[in-house]
Amino acid sequence: MIAQSRWSLALATLFTVGICLHGQDAPPKFPPGKDAPTPPPAHVIAVTVNNQPIAELAIFRALLREQPRDYDTARKEVVNFLIDNVLIDQYLLHLKIAVDAKLVEEKIDQIKGEAVKNKTDLEKVLKTLHLTEEELRRELVCALRWEKFVEQQATDTTLKDMFDKNVTMFDGTRVQARHILVKIEPGTTQEQAIARAAGFKKAVEEQTAQEFAKMPPASQNETERVKILEHVFSEIAGKESSCPSRKNGGALGYFDRSGMVEPFSRTAFALKPYQMSEPVVTEFGCHLILATDRKNGKDVKFEDAKPFVRAVYSDRLREAVVAAMRPRAQIVVSPMASEKPKAP
């Protein structure tokens, strides 16, 4: 739930077109006897972001390929992702980040060339994806604009500084943890969510101390204490967490430093095994984290890690732009555009 793909939608769209051209991806398949849901009309608007529309068809396109079981949850994620991408492009346009029209045409010609080379009908691929060539061109412009911005910001000095300050992000170090998520729902303030998470921390500590005190003195050691701690934490997570991981007592398994949103990851990696965090706020809500193990990485040089450092820097830059733009944005969701599409 926390780990996120930080590709821009534009890049994701181009990637999907690319793999279809290479025959590595087939059109969506549906259960026997079930037809594909009917795409919404192109004019139906799902959301406006600072008066810029996002078509319902764009959401449909993303959900069609995923065929999510939990449609409502998946739709919210796609809508938020689309909103973020519009905000980013609006920010870049405000900065007057221009894209050379000649470069756009070169990329379009490259895509068409790939189609010919792989004996694939580009028009058919775009139709399968409910995408027009004009929309593909717009996605390409957005992708190139973002790449140009990242190129301007990601100097060697900047990347080296990021590497030096976050070595565990690039050396393969991994942490294992459990967490309890308190969502910040409409009508709930961030302060209330933090207070609730703090209450869970107090409950874990008190129940752990009580269970530990019941043990025979000869058995009271650190090994037994942490067993009780993890058991109590997992029980509370199973009952109270808003994350799907509650089914496993809040267990997230092992993850690397860049595999989670930054506030969560930064906090988790600062913990020692069986140390519990204070409440941590992310875009998903408020978290209480219990680290359970750590696997240290290997020595790595900046020159070898540089491509990965750049990718992570791009992700963090995206997060920073969205965080700055969201509070000021005028986002209007259409009440008529949230129904699940039905098969004909």
The CATH number covering residue 77 comes to: 1.10.4030
> Is residue 344 included in any domain, yes or no?
no
Distance of CA 150 to the CA centre of its chain: 19
Tell me how far apart the alpha carbons of residues 11 and 146 are, in angstroms, rounded to a whole number: 10
The answer on 146 and 179 residing in a single domain is no
Residues 152 and 233 in one domain: no
Alpha-carbon torsion 246, 278, 292, 269, what sign?
Answer: positive
Do 38 and 147 reside in the same domain of the chain? yes
pLDDT of residue 203: 97
Q: Which two tokens stand for residue 251?
A: 């267990």
Residue 183 sits in the same domain as residue 150:
no
**Distance separating alpha carbons of residues 58 and 286, to the nearest angstrom:** 30
Q: Which residues contact 300 (CB under 8 A, 6 or more apart)?
A: 167, 170, 171, 172
Residue by residue, pLDDT tens for the chain (344 residues) are 444 443 344 444 444 444 444 444 444 444 444 555 788 888 899 999 999 999 999 888 888 765 556 677 778 888 988 999 999 999 999 999 999 999 999 988 888 888 888 788 888 878 877 888 888 889 899 999 999 999 999 999 999 999 999 999 999 999 999 999 999 888 889 999 999 999 999 999 999 999 999 999 999 999 999 999 999 999 999 999 999 999 999 999 999 988 888 899 999 999 999 999 999 999 889 999 999 999 999 999 999 999 999 999 998 899 899 989 999 999 998 875 545 555 44
**Residue 301 is assigned to a structural domain of this protein:** no
Q: Which domain holds residue 157?
A: 9-161+320-333
Same domain? 142 vs 17: yes
> In this structure, are 227 and 154 located in the same domain?
no
Query: Both 51 and 105 in a single domain?
Result: yes
Q: Is 61 among the domain residues?
A: yes
Q: Are residues 66 and 18 in the same domain?
A: yes
Alpha-carbon span 206 to 202, nearest angstrom:
6
Do 175 and 296 touch, CB atoms closer than 8 A? no
Q: Match 């989670």 to its residue by tokens.
A: 260
Residue 145 placed within a domain = yes
Residue 314, domain member (yes or no): no
The whole-angstrom separation of Cα 32 and Cα 67 is: 14
Same domain, 55 and 143: yes
Helix (H), strand (E) at residue 153: helix 133-153
Domains of the chain: total? 2
Q: What pTM value is reported for the model?
A: 0.73
Q: State how far the alpha carbon of 168 is from the alpha carbons of 3, 6, 45, 149, 288, in Å.
A: 17, 20, 43, 26, 21
pLDDT at 286: 96
Structure tokens at 151: 């190129």
Residue 86 domain flag: yes
- Identify each DSSP E strand in 14-161 by its residue range: 45-49, 52-55
User: CB count, 10 Å around CB of 71?
Assistant: 13
Beta bridge partners of 179: 289
User: Are 40 and 63 spatial neighbours (Cβ–Cβ below 8 Å)?
Assistant: no
Is residue 125 domain-shared with residue 227, that is, in the same domain? no
Running DSSP on this structure, what letter comes out for residue 181?
E
CATH of the domain at 256: 3.10.50.40
Token digits for 340?
């699940």
Task: Please indicate, yes or no, if residue 1 is contained in any of the structural domains.
Answer: no
Residue 317's identity, in one-letter code, is: L
90 shares a domain with 20: yes
Judged on CB neighbours under 10 Å (0-12, 13-18, 19+), 167 is: middle
In this prediction, residue 225 carries a pLDDT of 96
Instruction: Judge if 266 and 145 occupy the same domain.
Output: no
In a domain, 142, yes or no: yes
